[in-house]
Chain A
Amino acid sequence: MVEYTGQARDTGLRIKTELASRPTPSAMATPAILLRDVNLFYGANQALYDISMDIGERMVTAFIGPSGCGKSTLLRCLNRMNDLIDNVKITGKVEVNTLDIYGPKTDVIEVRRKVGMVFQKSNPFPKSIYENVVYGLRIAGINDKATLDEVCERSLRGAALWDEVKDRLDQSGLSLSGGQMQRLCIARAIANEPDIILMDEPCSALDPIATVKIEELIYALKEKYTIVIVTHNLQQAARVSDMTAFFWLGRLVEYGQTSDLFTKPKEKHTEDYITGRFG
């Protein structure tokens, strides 16, 4: 395990990241995602510094921290969405269920099918609700009607959307309300039967009622999936997550069980942040 206690270059603050690797009993039993010494550079700018952490299976892990702290960037490392940006360099190791996703022989398509993603702004395709849900199957070359129907229903039920849309599956996905669209995106993600679902601020554009629905959904989904959620809403992190990681300036400052982190933070920065003194 890395013992990093070096000087933070730009701030002069001492940040301990040893906590990151301290195993918590439930998380370490079966880590779904394993990060070791992950550094990420946008050209000459370093955005992530030596991130090492284990993310437990079938639990909700929240990434919190002020804007620009790298939490979304790290999330996008987990399904290689950063590949799409030019001039990105990543060092270190990221394993998803023991698969080294940055390994030379790893197929990025395979990674993304295993690690689904829900975005901040709900982004259904300009297609029917049905086609939105079965998109993953279509691109995998599955066109058998019975299979598609079955997956569509199961995914929409899984995303708690079936009862609301079952009579209008042929309508455009864009005709739904904001919260429904986000649940459609979740349904689309789980139609691929991923191991892990990444959520990048999934509720930031939603009203409180829609937010509650998504949160309930997240709670239900962790029965089957490992969920990593980035959020700005600390109450939300406290409500839905089992584990919480606090990031600051590209570094993992503190990582632990949510109840511990919110009630008795070990780091001064974490305390300042969750009590609203900065960020």
Chain B
Amino acid sequence: MRLGTLVRRGDPFVWLAGSGLGISLLMILGLLGVILVNGLGFFWPKPLLQLTLKDGVVLLGEQVTREVIPTPGVVDAPEQFRLQLKLGNRDLFGADFRWVDEAEITGRERPRDAFYFERREYGPLIGTPVRLTRGGDALATGPDAVWAALAPLIEQAEVDRAAIRTIERDEIGAINFAIERARLDMRAIDLRERQRPEQRLDAERAALDQEVVRQKALYDERQRALEALYERAAQTYLTVRASDGQEKEIRTLDIFRAYPANQLSWAEKTGVYASRIWEFVSGDPRESNTEGGIFPAIFGTVMMVVLMSLVAVPFGVLAALYLREYAKQGTLVRLVRIAVNNLAGVPSIVFGVFGLGFFVYFVGGTIDRAFFPESLPTPTYGTGGILWASLTLALLTVPVVIVASEEALAAVPRSMREASLAMGATKFQTILRVVLPAAAPGIMTGLILAMARGAGEVAPLMITGVVKLAADLPLDGIFPFFHLDRKFMHLGFHIYDVGFQSPNVEAAKPMVYSTTILLLGIVVALNITAIVIRNRLRRKYQTGAF
């Protein structure tokens, strides 16, 4: 076929358009592929490799990667490879990872008795179990006997840790909270007395004293329970021999997971994999976020997005209603519309700075002076927290909601409004009963866009309330349950923190990918929820106009 005909028919244009789409898809699939392989592969238990080097050193660990040794400036050099091993045992060796040139290696094997232990501190412990002791008496010796005896102990350790956690965090936490509350109340009484010296508040003070005494007694009681628990739980010790012959003794209470890496069947590997993923999703972080789970970050992200939506949507819809339905369409409204559209394009860090200055320092500071004078100079609301972060993000996403809602309102057919008005409805009734329901799917689209943007923001959060590690969730069992003044963790910030601020970058790398998967997953899940709701609304209020 002649070129001219092709051009006239537009074939090259179709190819161009198709390749545009193809490239976009490739980029997205590539991104997802990299993240999924790196993030999900990390949890799969790898075999433990024992290397003997020329100088007699023996190394035991997981092979992380194999790469060509760069030889800059040398032409035609024979290709040399090196391995990266994850040795673990940071407390013994000082570093978790080591590069080994393949030329140095004289022997490779996969010892049957090599075990991988995950524990509370210092990263993984890799070595051969030697013996298990309780109060100085040996319970078992030799790898197989120790493994048989260890498995139930590890399960017990999990139960014990949960019990300790309940006492330490929930019960003693609540007591500390009450004591702190009493201390602040006491200060409040002092302040009131200073303002009005004639009134005597001794009775209230005495009541508070009594409350403190009562809580302190409770505290002592729980503390004793805790000690008793430790006494009982921290009895058994495991001794492990590392590859260089050093022996290390650890409490079984501190072991989170153990497996004989080179003896596992596929089913057992899958089991380890699943339990690791579950820990990742549901557990608390350990070892400055390089191990353990990221549940607080997931929780913080979701709660922040929900809070943000609760503020942004009503606000945006009201603004859009006024702009579209009530305001007299003219130059001023056009200017406002342009301003709103531009607001959607303002860099998020600018909103962050505004949030810090306005919400945190001004609003929060005012609230503190008005309602929490007893705890000053320690700020309560005058410091970053989930409320201020959510409000800042709401400010950031409100333009998106306004624009989408305005379009949705404009798309409600005029005939439907007229029908309502002709029935004797007021404009307000028409908006409430006809226009808003019909526009709801479009408003939901705005919410979806806002959530997608809000969930992915990091910069404004860093200065309005996100922290690397938050001890307490912003929602818990202590009255008033929602602690909107608390700082919180966020997946986006977690990625930044683990990836770039971690003291142990090599160990943290897989966490970056895994956290990324989760963040994407959460954004997708939130969006799908909103889309499902929108489609329901659409079916219910279908008008033919959407």
Contacts and interface: CB of A to CB of B under 8 A. Distances in A.
B540 interface: yes
Interface stretch (A52-60, A91-99, A113-121, A241-249): A113-121
Given A126-B542, A174-B542, A112 B423 contact: yes
Contacts of A189: 422-423
B535 interface: no
A167 B521 CA distance: 45
Contact of B420 (A125, A140, A192): A125
A79 interface: yes
Interface stretch (B26-34, B38-46, B92-100, B410-418): B410-418
A109 B542 contact: no
B135 interface: no
Interface stretch (B344-352, B429-437, B459-467): B429-437
A172 B543 CA distance: 10
- Number of chain B interface residues as a range: 20 to 34
Contact of A81 (B422, B426, B429): B422
A138 B430 CA distance: 12
B422 A139 contact: no
Interface in B417-453: 418-426, 429, 433-434, 437-438
Given A116-B422, A139-B425, A139-B433, A126 B438 contact: yes
B284 to A, nearest CB: 48
A72 B179 CA distance: 77
A119 B422 CA distance: 10
Nearest to B426: A109
Contact of A121 (B415, B420, B540): B415
Interface residues of A, number: 27
Contact of B416 (A113, A117, A125, A136): A125
B444 to A, nearest CB: 15
A71 interface: no
B319 to A, nearest CB: 22
Interface string B503-546: 00000000000000000000000000000000000001111100
Contact of B424 (A84, A139, A174): A139
Contacts of B420: 125, 135, 139
A126 B420 CA distance: 12
Contacts of A138: 433
A119 B416 CA distance: 10
A192 B424 contact: yes
Contacts of B423: 112-113, 116, 135-136, 139, 188-189, 192
Nearest to B429: A139
A250 B286 CA distance: 83
Interface string A76-101: 00010100100000000000000000
A124 B423 CA distance: 12
A110 B416 CA distance: 20
A177 interface: no
B446 to A, nearest CB: 19
Contacts of A140: 424
B418 A123 contact: yes
A125 B421 CA distance: 12
A185 interface: yes
B136 to A, nearest CB: 77
Nearest to B417: A84
Contacts of B544: 174
B422 A117 contact: yes
B438 A81 contact: no
Contacts of B424: 109-110, 112-113, 136, 139-140, 192
Contacts of B434: 125
A126 B543 contact: yes
B542 A119 contact: no
Contacts of B421: 81, 84, 112
B437 to A, nearest CB: 7
A119 B543 contact: no
- Pick from B413, B420, B422, B543 the residue with the most CB of A within 10 Å: B422
A196 to B, nearest CB: 12
A123 B415 contact: yes
Nearest to B539: A172
A128 to B, nearest CB: 10
A79 B422 CA distance: 8
Interface string B202-214: 0000000000000
Nearest to B438: A126
Contacts of B419: 119, 123-125, 185, 188
Contact of B543 (A109, A174, A185): A174
Given A121-B415, A139-B429, A139-B433, A126 B541 contact: yes
Contacts of A79: 422
- Pick from A124, A125, A192 the residue with the most CB of B within 10 Å: A125
A139 B432 CA distance: 10
A109 B426 CA distance: 7
A172 B415 contact: no
A131 to B, nearest CB: 9
A174 B418 CA distance: 17
A112 B438 contact: no
Nearest to B328: A86
- Pick from A110, A112, A185 the residue with the most CB of B within 10 Å: A112
A155 to B, nearest CB: 12
Contacts of B543: 126, 174
A116 B423 CA distance: 7
Contacts of B438: 126
A198 B261 CA distance: 84
A31 to B, nearest CB: 22
- Pick from A123, A126, A127, A172 the residue with the most CB of B within 10 Å: A126
Contacts of A121: 415
A112 to B, nearest CB: 4
Interface in A122-173: 123-127, 135-136, 138-140, 172
Nearest to A111: B424
A185 B423 CA distance: 10
A110 B424 CA distance: 7
Nearest to B537: A126
B534 to A, nearest CB: 14
Contact of A123 (B413, B425, B540): B413
Contacts of A112: 421-424
Nearest to B430: A139
Nearest to A137: B423
A136 B418 CA distance: 13
Contact of A172 (B418, B422, B433, B542): B542
Nearest to A198: B422
Contacts of A136: 423-424
- Pick from B420, B424, B426, B541 the residue with the most CB of A within 10 Å: B424
30 contacts: A79-B422, A81-B418, A81-B421, A109-B424, A109-B425, A109-B426, A112-B421, A112-B422, A113-B423, A116-B422, A117-B422, A119-B422, A121-B415, A123-B415, A125-B416, A125-B420, A125-B433, A126-B540, A126-B543, A127-B437, A135-B423, A135-B433, A136-B423, A139-B423, A139-B425, A139-B429, A172-B540, A188-B423, A189-B422, A189-B423
7 closest pairs, A vs B, by CB? A113-B424, A126-B541, A117-B422, A123-B415, A112-B424, A123-B419, A139-B425
Given A113-B424, A125-B433, A140-B424, 14 more contacts: A81-B418, A81-B422, A110-B424, A123-B415, A123-B418, A125-B420, A126-B542, A135-B423, A138-B433, A139-B424, A174-B543, A185-B419, A189-B422, A192-B424
